[in-house]
Amino acid sequence: MILLASSCETFLDVNTNPNNPTDAPISGLMTNITYQTTLNVYRQGRTAAFYVQYLASPNPSSSSDTMEREDFSTMWFNLYNAMTDVNEMILKSQESGAKHYLGAGQVMMALNLAMTVDFFGDVPYSESFNFTTVTPSYDDDMTLYQSIDALLTEGIANLNAESTSTIGLDDFIFKGDIGKWKKFAYTLKARYLIHTKGDAGYSDAAVLSAIDNGFASNEDNAQIFFFEQDRNPWANVARNNANLLLDGWISEQFVEALDGTSYPTIDPRMPLLIGTTDDGEFLGTVNGAGRGNAPEEGARSTLIQEQYYTSTESPLLISTYAELKFIEAEAALASNKDRAYAAYLAGISAHMDMLSVETAKKAAYLADPSVSMGAAALSIDDIFKEKYVALFLHPETWNDARRYDYAYKNMNLPDNLNPNLSGQFIRRVAYPDSEVSRNGKNIPSVTLLDRIWWDQ
Amino acid sequence: MGVTYVSPSVFPLDGQVGYSKNSTFGDPTLKPELTTSVEFGTQLAFFNNKASLDVTYYKSNAKDQIIPVPISDATGFSSYITNAGEIENRGWEIVVGGTPIEKGDFKWDVSANLTTNKNEVKAIREGIDQIVVGSQSGYAGASVTMILTEGQAYGNIYGSSYIRSGSDPEGTTLNRGLPQVIGANGFPIRTGDQLILGNAIPKFFGGIKNQFSYKGFEFSFLLDFRTGIQQYSQFANYLSAFGKQKDSERRNETIVFPGVMADGSQNSKPVWLGQGIGPDGVNYGAGYWRNTYRGASENFVTNASYLKLRKITLAYNLMPNTLERTPFRTARVSIAANNIILGTPWDGFDPESFSSGAGGNAVGFTGLGFPGVQSFFFTLNLGL
């Protein structure tokens, strides 16, 4: 009888759901955070790739090529979902004194927040995550950049302190290497500072001093290597395309940047990044124009499987040493041309090493006078030209393009451009339909030409 | 209830299991819903029960409705399950019936009913301004949402529209009677501001049933109607993005859009409705329907009233003496038809088909749901 009674009690206890625990381990949150943040980089890269003409659609007038107003409700959800989990991890680690988790959390929050601001401009933050209000207000994007820098600074301090628990394999990015987390935080500092070049309060020196503490080699790259059970998303794109679910078609702009058309040299990285037509040629698709009468396969360059970016267990890059070098080149250009030139060459070299370009080809490319023009002749155009290739498929290129006013050589507006853009390139994305319907009163009224604060 | 966590199904990866905060927040102070309804009416019969009239007035209030309210992802949750508000429904139900003719072998029965409905969202929980019941997407910002707001009716469909001259800036409902504002390029201008474009709950509905019988013949028909209802046609939105809708047959025409310019003068700029370079040398790009038309939800929220012939049957029962020489006791032959649409302003296949859209069981979104089937029957019933 006693046994029956006790089983009745637990049987009728329907209010606790074993599938939804009311608490989660910090390490579990860390795993999901590192995983989703990396996927957020992919999701943004997916969209930005069409705006900066890495990729083009095989169909004419596709909304991404023509820079139309699209709905980014899913991307918004994924960014805020990641930030919500980071917030949870920050609260828990503050309670338990796990300073390393706190520091890493602050770095991840800064990264996700910056990704959100760079796409959407003013976004909710100070009233977010803790359910204080059902309709959080939107914070000013310039103020948010200050919060991002503050988060990175605090994060570095916490990473330097003693922690009650150590990060281990639950961290998919650095596997618990605190030294690399600190370098990553400094690298991000440099990245977000360089966005503000040309705005009040910017200083090259601040960027350079952050760079000195940033990544020191390709070994430090912030990336996740994907899994047999969960393929690298770009690998999926290449795989889908091979199965005629068309995707990952290369833009004419990118092909011409590599094949000797826009610039004097042929880049040895080209066959390692993109595929050829059935005749062995590299041929891109014009953004907005589609493939015309060309068939679905064999007539244009696309992403192909088993390459550096597109293998099952390929890394998905969050931030690289190569990117840092190009930031250094840009920051040092005014004050120290020798340093800028060395960084520029180091950036090209680092990217080539990632792709495992043959030593002889790499040396030949670097020796070409159009690439090695010497410190005196180095210009901002050269830096951006090489950074464009080194950051293939990365959303940071859209930030570069907007700062550079899309001035890449031979970069033209896409065909059938969205007429609401009045003949200009897009400067931001629209707020998602989900926010329009759920938080409409707080949304600022913007067009696709309204620039993020650092772009003005 | 409260805050919970989930482990996304992609894990474990490399032996690690990730956790995420559940995006649904269950209000820990949830109460049960309570519905109070009042009905009063009268039932009258005349002429020895040959005619009847029922009239009823009803009013029903559902309080503390438990609804998963979609909330801004920036709050840390996407959905808040709570006692969200109170909805009131009221109206009249009238049933008239009788047997107008009963003479010899001929009988005619008729019955008609009419229901009117007016509903209102009486209150929404404090702290929430509006509740999104559901939404359905459309190209280029033509998505529509069904939102409940205090003081408004249930079932309002909100979406984007063309800017109208003279519209009330504080107004919440689109006034389609006002002239459109035409831009410098000759085309109407779309605004993303969400206005009420229509309502998906019918204001009047009812039917008439008639039955005639004469000797062995039976003839009956049932008419069904509803009116005062609008719906969103996602299918029409999709067709318009690809030039498949009937209206795009005028793609080689040059027209002047009726409306006023920003300065109030009448629009007189002729524009070509095709794609690419027009006969006037101007580059129209992807053309009117892709650039302008498909992005305005108002083009796709249309009148979904209908008059349908639900069922019509003509039958003949063979007389017993005809059947004497056959092994059958009874035989009946009939032809019938179901669900014939007699009239509807709806330009899709069937104004009654719907798919519930995203985020709930909202009506009013037709999506790509299958239309109802119009059918014809020839039946022979034989009894042994």
Residues recorded for chain A: 456
User: How far does the CA of residue A250 sit from the closest CA of chain B (Å)?
Assistant: 22
Place of tokens 């889908």: A240
∠ Cα A201 A80 A397 (to 5°):
50
CA distance B259 to B173: 19
**Burial readout B88-111 (b: 16 or more C-beta within 10 A, e: otherwise):** bbbbebbbbbbbeeeeeeeebbbb
Residue A18 lies in a domain: no
**Neighboring chain A residues of B25 at a CB cutoff of 8 Å:** 131
Number of domains in chain A: 1
Residue A147 lies in a domain: yes
A215: left (phi over 0), alpha (psi -120 to 50) or beta: beta
Residue A259 lies in a domain: no
CA distance A182 to A212: 12
* Burial degree of B213 (CB within 10 A; 0-12, 13-18, 19+): middle
Q: Do B72 and A135 touch (CB under 8 A)?
A: yes
Backbone angles phi, psi at A211, to 5 degrees: -60, -35
Sign, CA torsion B173/B175/B181/B185: positive
B292 Cα distance to chain centroid: 25
Per-residue pLDDT at A280? 92
CA-nearest residue to A64 within chain B is B140
Select from A434, A419, A423, A76 the least CA-distant residue to B190: A419
Q: Is B23 near chain A, with CB under 8 Å?
A: yes
Mean pLDDT of chain A: 92
Backbone angles phi, psi at A3, to 5 degrees: -60, -45
Contact indicator for A207, A190 with CB cutoff of 8 Å = yes
First to last CA, chain B: 62
Task: Determine the 3-state secondary structure of A316 from DSSP.
Answer: strand
The partner residue sitting opposite A20, judged by closest CB among B18, B22, B137, is B22
Q: Do B73 and A229 touch (CB under 8 A)?
A: no
DSSP run (H or E) holding A149: helix A141-160
User: How far does the CA of residue B246 sit from the closest CA of chain A (Å)?
Assistant: 21
CA distance A90 to A19: 24
What is the residue range of A78's domain? 25-202
Residue A215 lies in a domain: no
CATH code for position A189: 1.25.40.390
Select from B217, B220, B237 the least CA-distant residue to B138: B237
Residues of B numbered 100-139 whose beta carbons fall under 8 angstroms of chain A's beta carbons: which are they? 127-129, 132, 135, 137, 139
Backbone angles phi, psi at B336, to 5 degrees: -145, 160
DSSP run (H or E) holding A381: helix A380-390
Q: Do B16 and A434 touch (CB under 8 A)?
A: no
Q: Is B76 near chain A, with CB under 8 Å?
A: yes
CA distance A74 to B80: 18
**Neighboring chain A residues of B13 at a CB cutoff of 8 Å:** 31, 35, 172, 227, 229-230
Residue A207 lies in a domain: no
Select from B198, B184, B201 the least CA-distant residue to B299: B198
CA distance A47 to A361: 32
User: How far does the CA of residue B28 sit from the closest CA of chain A (Å)?
Assistant: 11
Place of tokens 């001259």: B165
∠ Cα B243 B245 B248 (to 5°):
60
**Neighboring chain A residues of B128 at a CB cutoff of 8 Å:** 134
Helix (H), strand (E), coil (C) string for chain B: CECCEECCCCCCECCECCCEECCEEECCCCCCCEEEEEEEEEEEEECCCCEEEEEEEEEEEEEEEEEEEECCHHHCCCEEEEEEEEEEEEEEEEEEEEEEEEECCEEEEEEEEEEECEEEEEEECCCCCEEEEEEECCHHHCCEEEEEECCCCCCEEEEEEECECCCCCCCCECCCCCCEEECCCCCECEEEEEEEEEECCCCEEEEEEEEEEECCEEEEEEEEEEECCEEECHHHHHHHHCCCCHHHHHCCCEEECCCECCCCCECCCEEECCCCECCCCCECCCHHHHHCHHHCHHHHEEECCEEEEEEEEEEEECCCCCCCCCCCCEEEEEEEEEEEEEECCCCCCCCCCCCCCECCCCCCECCCCCCCCCEEEEEEEEEC
CA distance A207 to A186: 9
pLDDT per residue as tens digits for the range A439-456 = 888 999 899 999 999 998
Say which residues have a Cβ less than 8 Å from residue A231's Cβ, sequence separation at least 6: A239, A312, A313
Select from A129, A148, A142, A411 the least CA-distant residue to A287: A411
Per-residue pLDDT at A101? 95
Query: Tokens in use for A288?
Result: 């907005």
pLDDT per residue as tens digits for the range B343-369 = 899 988 888 877 665 555 678 888 787
CA distance A403 to A422: 19
CA distance A244 to A398: 28
Mutate to test the interface with A, among B10, B11, B20, B242 (most CBs of A within 10 A): B20
Q: Which amino acid appears at position A116 of this protein? A: T
pTM: 0.82
User: How far does the CA of residue A143 sit from the closest CA of chain B (Å)?
Assistant: 17
Q: Do B74 and A136 touch (CB under 8 A)?
A: yes
Contact indicator for B145, B194 with CB cutoff of 8 Å = yes
Per-residue pLDDT at A375? 92
CA distance A286 to B210: 65
**Neighboring chain A residues of B1 at a CB cutoff of 8 Å:** 15
Mean pLDDT, consecutive 10-residue segments, chain A of 456 residues?
Answer: 52 68 88 95 96 93 87 94 95 93 96 96 92 90 95 96 91 94 96 93 93 95 93 95 93 94 94 93 92 88 94 95 96 94 96 95 94 93 96 96 94 88 93 85 90 92
Per-residue pLDDT at B358? 52
Residue A99 lies in a domain: yes
Residue A164 lies in a domain: yes
Compute, in degrees rounded to 10, the torsion defined by CA atoms A394, A396, A398, A403: -150
Compute, in degrees rounded to 10, the torsion defined by CA atoms A116, A119, A123, A129: -20
Q: Is B302 near chain A, with CB under 8 Å?
A: no
Tell me whether the omega of the peptide bond preceding residue A21 falls within 30 degrees of 0, making it cis: no
Residue A323 lies in a domain: no
Which residues in chain B come in under a pLDDT of 70? Answer: 1, 355-361
Q: Do B11 and A31 touch (CB under 8 A)?
A: yes
Residues of B numbered 146-165 whose beta carbons fall under 8 angstroms of chain A's beta carbons: which are they? 147, 158
